[in-house]
């Protein structure tokens, strides 16, 4: 028998890995050319990418920024000796109309209001979205929706202030009623009082205050909203409201209270069973039938409500998925420590359920944002609605790819940012190895 | 089933059973659908008692101790914990739960919170303790279970034994009067079982009232003052550990002991 005993007398020094596994060569070898079959696949793919890109770039690189009509574009390209159906892109349409694609028919002298409004959205959301943003911004977060609405629509400042007061009304209604009649009635009062306030009292109060102290900026009508600013307004509002609404619906669906549960299930299943476009038609036409004659219920507001409800139903199901994925032990852990229902939901259940649901939630967000283009069908001038108007212009008659390409690019930037953000969030919330 | 040797002296000076009643269960019945899972349970636990509950799988041990902090609802009979009767009144339930600590087989730590946050959560939100004080208490108990250096890690980064000790510390931070253990060592490797048992012994030495569902018969022999044997949803036999192991009365107990101790 051979000697199997072995004792190491000298420890080996650390060495650099061989060159073929690191650096560019190493990467290429490992990822593109490992084995003959993969090498062939890589070469074929590279060739396909080359063909597509060379065709696309030779079309896209086209000195037509200054053109004022499709014919002018053609002349410029012909002057360069580029002929044929796809001789080159006609970017003149973008440079001439991009402001319109961004702002619709919003008065150009008020563009700054839109820009400021979206900056404020950024400022208001920063402390919610990023740890590193200063915490002091948090006080602005509950205010920014009202500031933004006021900037966009203008008018008297009392409108948003009185609307904000609705929440204060709700708070005091809760304190007052729950003090007298108990928690459940208090919660009902907390919902009912603001609704009554908004529906019946807010208008007259704002009008009266405006008559006493007329502070305001020039009003802009909803008709004048358009382009990406319209999509973003609808999209962001729907996204921001649908998340909390979805959470409430998801919890309601799990509730032990029969009526709450039935209402939530009914709502979710109804909304999910109906195409968004139907809801939008309801918003644009049918809803007026139910309104008292003479009421002017803003069309954009109606659309926002419909899109929000639609998004909330999907959100609720995504979050329910997250709730279902949580082990029962988490509920028991929270219960056994004496946390009450709301504490357990807020501190233990929701943070984890939402974390699990991040990919689904963000998919829903992206879907909602893209679905805002459907409003063009009911006559709102979102980018797609505007593109039809632009193409109907005799100067630009016949243009297709440039406008849609531009719109697609802007949508892509928004959606891709959301998707990157969700990946950042998932990485950030990663704790431990399971 | 292994019988892990407990290789240290147990200090019995503070292990005293008082006359005060901690838990009183009378004629308690529970059904899952039509399945009668707990049948006419009567049990009085005095302060300072260390009770081990044993029995075959499915005999209702978990269900019984989970009724004590109402993770399960009983349908008949009465459960009074620390003078508070468990009814459907949510306020009473939360009150009892904040006085009764519980450790689970699978720890049930909150994976999205650090160890320290796991321990301070309930004191801060339920007891309204100031954060600073809650953190000091938490560090005190983490030192007691010998893992203060892990305070800023997440549960997923700890071994099973460490997680279970954190779970014990988390319960202790609420300064509970009673501790319930539902097979705290069943999901652990032997070395880890020992560290968790050590922690539980220390707890017993300080006079904590404990109810433990466990298969660790060494612990039962040396630490418990009473062993309860359950089968088919009933308490079949209970006795002092010495008598219970050396002189079991019921046939079922004899069978169970012969299986579990491998005689
Ligand atoms: N949620 C439930 N629904 C229906 N039956 C259940 C439920 N939970 C437990 N049971 C049944 O009740 C009986 C007692 O369960 P319990 O978990 O209390 O047993 P146990 O003594 O703790 O067993 P083990 O040693 O395996 O943990 C078992 O037969 C089990 O199948
Ligand atoms: Mg069990």
Using one digit for the tens of pLDDT, what is the confidence trace for A128-146? 888 888 888 888 888 888 8
- The residue whose CA is least distant from atom 17 of ligand 1 is B62
Tell me the Cα Rg of chain A.
29
Domain count, chain B: 1
Contact residues, chain A, for B122 at CB < 8 Å: 337-339
* Beta pairing class for A155-156 and B84-85: unpaired
Q: Which ligand is nearest to the CA of B230?
A: 1
Inter-chain touch A337–B156, beta carbons under 8 Å = no
Nearest-CA neighbor of A163 among A193, A198, A128, A191? A198
Average confidence score pLDDT of chain B: 92
Grade residue A55 by pLDDT with cuts at 50, 70 and 90.
confident
Residue A198 in any domain: the answer is yes
- Assess A347–B contact: CB distance below 8 Å, yes or no: yes
Which atom in ligand 1 lies closest to the alpha carbon of residue B61?
A: 21
What are residue A126's phi and psi, to 5 degrees?
A: -50, -50
Would you say B69 and B180 are in contact if contact means Cβ atoms under 8 Å apart? yes
Tell me the Cα Rg of chain B.
18
* Beta pairing class for B50-54 and B35-46: unpaired
pLDDT at A366 over 50: yes
3-state DSSP assignment of residue B210: strand
Partners of residue B24 on adjacent β-strands = B44, B80
Cβ atoms within 10 Å, residue A22: 12
Chain centroid to CA A50 = 34
Contact residues, chain A, for B104 at CB < 8 Å: 329, 332-333, 336
Average confidence score pLDDT of chain A: 88
Grade residue A185 by pLDDT with cuts at 50, 70 and 90.
confident
In this prediction, residue B1 carries a pLDDT of 47
Joined tokens for residue A390: 């632009």
Cα gap A374→A34, rounded to integer Å = 47
In angstroms, the separation between the Cα of residue A259 and the nearest Cα of chain B is 20
Q: Is B77 left (phi over 0), alpha (psi -120 to 50) or beta?
A: left
Domain harbouring B257, CATH code: 3.40.50.300
ipTM of the complex: 0.92
In angstroms, the separation between the Cα of residue A239 and the nearest Cα of chain B is 25
Residue B163 in any domain: the answer is no
> Which of B88, B94, B109, B110 to mutate against chain A (most A CBs within 10 Å)?
B110
Closest Cβ–Cβ partner in A334, A335, A432 for B111: A432
Cα gap B248→A418, rounded to integer Å = 67
Residue A190 in any domain: the answer is yes
DSSP state of A155: E
pLDDT at B4 over 70: no
Residue keyed to tokens 């597509």: A52
Residue B192 in any domain: the answer is yes
**Mean pLDDT of all residues in A45-72:** 90
Tell me the pTM: 0.86
Grade residue A2 by pLDDT with cuts at 50, 70 and 90.
low
Inter-chain touch A338–B154, beta carbons under 8 Å = no
- Strands (E) in B60-199, as ranges, are 76-81, 84-85, 100-103, 178-182
Q: Which domain holds residue A163?
A: 155-217
In this prediction, residue B8 carries a pLDDT of 77
Q: Cα of A324 to ligand 1 centre, how many Å?
A: 21
Q: Which domain holds residue B85?
A: 21-107+179-261
Give the angle subtended at the CA of B229 by the CAs of B223 and B232, to the nearest 5°.
Answer: 150
pLDDT at B263 over 60: no
Domain count, chain A: 1
């Amino acid at each position: 028998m051979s000697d199997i005993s072995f004792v190491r007398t000298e420890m080996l020094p650390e060495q650099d890995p061989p060159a073929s596994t690191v650096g560019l060569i190493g990467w290429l070898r490992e990822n593109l050319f490992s084995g003959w079959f993969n090498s062939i696949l890589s070469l074929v793919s590279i060739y396909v990418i080359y063909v597509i890109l060379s065709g696309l770039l030779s079309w896209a690189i086209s000195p037509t920024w200054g053109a004022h009509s499709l014919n002018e574009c053609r002349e410029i390209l012909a002057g360069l000796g580029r002929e044929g159906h796809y001789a080159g892109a006609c970017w003149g349409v973008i440079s001439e109309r991009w402001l319109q694609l961004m702002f619709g028919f919003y008065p150009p002298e008020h563009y700054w209001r839109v820009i400021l409004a979206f900056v404020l959205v950024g400022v208001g959301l920063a402390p919610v979205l990023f740890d590193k943003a200063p915490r002091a911004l948090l006080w602005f977060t509950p205010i920014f929706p009202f500031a933004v609405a006021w900037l966009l629509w203008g008018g008297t400042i009392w409108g948003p202030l009185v609307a904000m007061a609705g929440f204060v009304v709700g708070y005091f209604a809760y304190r007052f009623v729950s003090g007298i009649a108990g928690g459940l009635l208090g919660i009902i009062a907390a919902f009912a009082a603001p609704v009554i306030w908004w529906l019946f009292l807010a208008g007259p109060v704002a009008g009266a205050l405006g008559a006493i102290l007329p502070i305001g900026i020039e009003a802009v009508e909803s008709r004048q909203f358009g382009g990406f600013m319209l999509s973003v307004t609808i999209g962001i509002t729907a996204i921001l409201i649908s998340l909390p609404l979805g959470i409430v619906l998801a919890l309601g669906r799990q509730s032990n209270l029969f009526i709450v549960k039935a209402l939530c299930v009914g709502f979710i299943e109804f909304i999910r069973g109906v195409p968004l476009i139907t809801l939008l038609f309801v918003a644009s036409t049918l809803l007026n039938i139910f309104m008292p004659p003479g009421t002017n219920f803003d069309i954009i507001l109606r659309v926002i409500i419909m899109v929000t409800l639609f998004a909330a139903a999907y959100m609720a199901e995504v979050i329910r998925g997250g709730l279902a994925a949580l082990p029962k032990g988490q509920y028991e852990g929270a219960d056994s420590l004496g946390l009450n229902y709301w504490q357990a939901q807020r501190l233990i259940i929701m943070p984890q359920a939402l974390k699990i649901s991040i990919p689904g939630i963000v998919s829903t967000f992206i879907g909602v944002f893209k679905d805002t283009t459907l409003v063009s069908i009911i006559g709102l001038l979102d980018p797609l609605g505007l593109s039809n108007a632009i193409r109907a212009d005799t100067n630009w008659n016949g243009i297709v790819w440039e406008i849609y390409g531009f719109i697609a690019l802007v949508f892509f930037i928004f959606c891709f940012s959301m998707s990157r953000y969700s990946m950042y969030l998932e990485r950030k919330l990663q704790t431990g190895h399971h | 089933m292994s019988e892990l040797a407990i290789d240290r002296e147990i200090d019995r000076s503070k292990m005293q059973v008082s006359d005060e009643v901690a838990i009183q269960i009378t004629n308690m019945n529970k059904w899952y659908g039509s399945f009668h899972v707990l049948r006419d349970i009567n049990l009085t636990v005095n302060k300072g008692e260390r009770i081990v509950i044993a029995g075959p799988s499915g005999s209702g041990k978990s269900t019984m101790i989970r009724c004590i902090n109402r993770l399960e609802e009983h349908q008949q009979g009465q459960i009074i914990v620390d003078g508070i009767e468990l009814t459907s009144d949510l306020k009473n339930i939360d009150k009892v739960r904040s006085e009764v600590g519980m450790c689970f087989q699978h720890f049930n730590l909150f994976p999205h919170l650090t160890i320290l946050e796991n321990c301070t959560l309930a004191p801060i939100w339920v007891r309204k303790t100031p954060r600073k004080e809650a953190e000091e208490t938490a560090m005190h108990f983490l030192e007691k279970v010998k893992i203060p250096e892990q305070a800023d890690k997440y549960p997923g980064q700890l071994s099973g034994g460490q997680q279970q000790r954190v779970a014990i510390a988390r319960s202790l931070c609420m300064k509970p009067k009673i501790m319930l253990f539902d097979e705290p060592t069943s999901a652990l490797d032997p070395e880890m079982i020992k560290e968790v048992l050590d922690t539980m012994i220390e707890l017993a030495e300080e006079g904590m009232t404990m109810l433990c569902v466990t298969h660790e018969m060494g612990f039962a022999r040396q630490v418990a003052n009473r062993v309860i044997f359950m089968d088919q949803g009933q308490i079949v036999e209970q006795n002092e550990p010495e008598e219970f192991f050396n002189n079991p009365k019921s046939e079922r107990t004899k069978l169970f002991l012969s299986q579990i101790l491998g005689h």
